[in-house]
Amino acid sequence: MAHKTHVAIRLRGRENPVVVQYSTFCRRTRGGVWGSGCGFPILMCKTSTGKMLPVDPTPGLDGEYTVHWETCPKERHVPEAPQDG
């Protein structure tokens, strides 16, 4: 499925939107070596500080996108502190 590039999207839990650069596949986990990714489709997006961020290509019902690191089955999930709300 083609996805528009150079459009700003909102990420869940992040204040600043990111801009879609291109669609690709998960090739590398965070800080990992090439080939350690899960191979799922992702969108590479650029943050307001110029960093590249992998994002899942399908938004949630609220229209917000999820950073792929939070769903990648190859990523080691670090437990986060429970949040109120």
Minimum CB distance to Zn ion, residue 57 (Å): 12
Cβ atoms of 29 and 72 closer than 8 Å: yes
Structure tokens at 20: 């879609």
The rounded distance, in Å, linking the Cα atoms of 73 and 48 is 27
**Cβ atoms within 10 Å of 64's Cβ, excluding its own:** 14
Write down the least CB distance from residue 12 to Zn ion, Å.
17
Q: Which is nearer to Zn ion, 26 or 67 (CB)?
A: 26
Quick one: 9 or 38, whose CB is closer to Zn ion? 38
Residues that bind Zn ion (CB under 5 A): 26, 37-38, 72
Nearer to Zn ion, 53 or 72 (CB): 72
